Chain A
């Protein structure tokens, strides 16, 4: 009896140490990668690298942010709407189960498949050239399942006492969802949006045949309807991730490696800044609601 107890304590200690080791290993790995990318990026810095000319990555940086923004504008309302439907309206049954299988399948499709689907539907069938908007649509398809599931979980996690309190003063189901459930669920939904945006920032395969691998803009044109304008979403545009890939595989420029390394660091910082910003926003909303 006594020794059994001792064994349990030893086992507990060993398990703790092992878990710490695994966690530490991954933390180290992550820190190593990050440091490697950042250091290589800094070393590759050269004046004018942010320029919007051919030698700089200004256009690619802009494209990346622009494409992610457009895709969020498309995917967040649809994903959140679908999540609300799944949490609040979908009745348990065959149709809902089928829908759930569809969402799960969609979430595990390789992004190149989505890219080719995007090419077929948004480029080939519409007869248009590669363009940022088509890329944004492809990325939206990629992030929709995630946004839907996160929203559904977030809405389901809203304490039922809030919902009951709202219905008890004569609010309708819809009023309750919009004015009580959604605000309470927002911090969690924001986490989903960060993840979705992360997919957009890092995506390459889905953009290959939708947004295209090059940009051709004239910085003197500011009319967003002109396909040569930087602001036009219906022009071909390569994002940073794709740019890195292109530079590393088939570029003729002599300092392609340098630019790729620097781009990688910029992309990393961009994603970090976006996550941090969204999290701060979420924390602020949270604080406002809890009155701390």
Chain B
């Protein structure tokens, strides 16, 4: 029952120029659980998620204050960002396989880390695809372009691509918002399997999805975390009036 804390933020503020997008966020993300972020669009869910693998480094105007502790280390300090990103993988809203073969898509990350051995890469590619429940569908066309896959397959490929780095955490930003219900169901299925091995943090616009797959849920509103608790508690017995209003669909 005593799960380890994986991520821990302390008074995290984030500014895009003068605009404050995150206001004093304090959150604990536990290991090998699914944590969901919900809230109306524009409330800072993606922004927060992108802090966790330093993806916001790409945006010049971003300024961050406060701490993000990952495994005892402040990741905004003097750390190896490349190493952080291999340990904290990410899956994006729009499936974004690279315009290369299915095999190359998955081998890309390990190759960038210097893995050259063909048999090692072969096993890594297969294992990742198996874990992402895509192997059976693509094993005969590994050398075909990944852009020929369906949207749902592409997204599972992106999950496999993240898994190939053998990460500890996988961040997912509305991974099913571009997919049909069947593809969505497959990905949700996958997530409940993956949480045995990985810590999963997912942003979702669908409260039903959060309810189905997550252990804990954080409700974001205008850059703040209004409430963070076990998912059943958030959905059946929220402490804050604003959470209740959002859950019951009275705004957002």
Q: Is the CB of B112 within 8 A of A171?
A: yes
The contact string, 1 if C-beta is below 8 Å from chain A, for chain B 156-185, is 001001101100000000000000000000
Which of A160-168, A253-261, A274-282 lies at the interface?
A160-168
The answer, among B55, B94, B144, B146, for a CB contact under 8 Å with A168, is: B55
Interface contacts (Cβ under 8 Å), in number, total 78
Which residues of chain B in 194-240 are interfacial with respect to chain A, using CB atoms and an 8 Å cutoff? none
Residue B99 CB within 8 A of the other chain: yes
The answer, among A165, A171, A180, A183, for a CB contact under 8 Å with B158, is: A165
Leading 10 A-B pairs by shortest Cβ distance: A291-B145, A169-B109, A289-B99, A170-B86, A291-B148, A161-B96, A168-B90, A171-B112, A170-B85, A165-B96
Please report the C-alpha to C-alpha distance between residue A189 and residue B87 in the assembled complex, in whole angstroms. 35
Residue A271 CB within 8 A of the other chain: no
Q: Is the CB of A161 within 8 A of B92?
A: yes
Contacts of A162 in B (CB 8 A): 96, 98-99
Given contacts A162-B96, A179-B108, contact A289 B89 (CB under 8 A): no
Residue A5 CB within 8 A of the other chain: no
Residue A175 CB within 8 A of the other chain: yes
The answer, among A170, A180, A184, A292, for a CB contact under 8 Å with B165, is: A170
Residue A249 CB within 8 A of the other chain: no
Q: Is the CB of A169 within 8 A of B85?
A: yes
Given contacts A165-B158, A170-B85, A170-B86, contact A290 B96 (CB under 8 A): no
By beta carbon, the residue of chain B nearest A287 is B145
Please report the C-alpha to C-alpha distance between residue A180 and residue B161 in the assembled complex, in whole angstroms. 15
The contact string, 1 if C-beta is below 8 Å from chain A, for chain B 134-151, is 000000000011111000
Residue B82 CB within 8 A of the other chain: yes
Given contacts A170-B109, A170-B112, contact A161 B94 (CB under 8 A): yes
Please report the C-alpha to C-alpha distance between residue A163 and residue B108 in the assembled complex, in whole angstroms. 13
What's the nearest-Cβ distance from chain A to residue B149, in Å? 9
- Show 15 residue pairs from A and B whose CB-CB distance is below 8 angstroms, ordered by the A residue: A164-B92, A164-B96, A165-B97, A167-B58, A168-B53, A168-B162, A169-B161, A169-B165, A170-B82, A170-B112, A170-B165, A175-B112, A288-B145, A291-B99, A292-B148
Q: Is the CB of B92 within 8 A of A165?
A: yes
Residue B5 CB within 8 A of the other chain: no
Interface size classification for chain B: 20 to 34
Residue A16 CB within 8 A of the other chain: no
Name, among A167, A180, A291, A292, the residue most crowded by chain B CB atoms within 10 Å (CB to CB): A291
Q: Is the CB of A169 within 8 A of B89?
A: yes
Residue B130 CB within 8 A of the other chain: no
Contacts of B53 in A (CB 8 A): 168
By beta carbon, the residue of chain B nearest A288 is B145
Q: Is the CB of A290 within 8 A of B85?
A: no
Which residues of chain A in 138-185 are interfacial with respect to chain B, using CB atoms and an 8 Å cutoff? 159, 161-172, 175, 179-180, 183-184
What's the nearest-Cβ distance from chain B to residue A252, in Å? 58
Q: Is the CB of A184 within 8 A of B99?
A: yes
By beta carbon, the residue of chain B nearest A289 is B99
Please report the C-alpha to C-alpha distance between residue A189 and residue B152 in the assembled complex, in whole angstroms. 32
By beta carbon, the residue of chain B nearest A171 is B112
Please report the C-alpha to C-alpha distance between residue A163 and residue B90 in the assembled complex, in whole angstroms. 13
By beta carbon, the residue of chain B nearest A92 is B60
Which residues of chain A in 234-292 are interfacial with respect to chain B, using CB atoms and an 8 Å cutoff? 288-292
Contacts of A161 in B (CB 8 A): 92, 94, 96
Please report the C-alpha to C-alpha distance between residue A289 and residue B53 in the assembled complex, in whole angstroms. 28
What's the nearest-Cβ distance from chain B to residue A25, in Å? 40
Q: Is the CB of A171 within 8 A of B96?
A: no
Q: Is the CB of B145 within 8 A of A165?
A: no
Please report the C-alpha to C-alpha distance between residue A175 and residue B58 in the assembled complex, in whole angstroms. 15
Q: Is the CB of A172 within 8 A of B82?
A: yes
Contacts of A175 in B (CB 8 A): 112
Given contacts A161-B92, A175-B112, A290-B99, contact A169 B86 (CB under 8 A): yes
